Amino acid sequence: MTRGDFDKLWLGLLIGLLLPALFCLAYAHTIGLHHMWQEGMYNTLKPVVGRMMLLGTFANMGIMFVLYELNVWRLAKGVMLAIIPYMAVAIILLG
């Protein structure tokens, strides 16, 4: 397989959608947010979840930088496109 086989927009989009979600889940587990979520403190957690979404986009931006340095342009564009829904959710939660 060549590098061009992995240079797909949809593959970058999939990576870009999964990476922040995994980052947010790992971070929430680390700080123990799952207990607060079960107790129904949604309004209290809205800003925290919004900030976690913003932190997750930084993981995407780091991966995007590495992909641009490796000249895998379409894969990097897919990761960039995946930042948009996370930013929209973060703006809604923080707004």
Residue range 18-44, pLDDT digits in tens: 998 888 888 777 777 666 656 666 667
Residues 39-62 have a mean pLDDT of: 80
3 — pLDDT class (breaks 50, 70, 90)? low
Q: Which residues contact 3 (CB under 8 A, 6 or more apart)?
A: 72
Both tokens of residue 40? 């129904």
**Of residues 28 and 69, more confidently modeled:** 69
82 — pLDDT class (breaks 50, 70, 90)? very high
**Residue 1, pLDDT above cutoff 60:** no
First to last CA, the chain: 46
Helix (H) or strand (E) holding 72: none
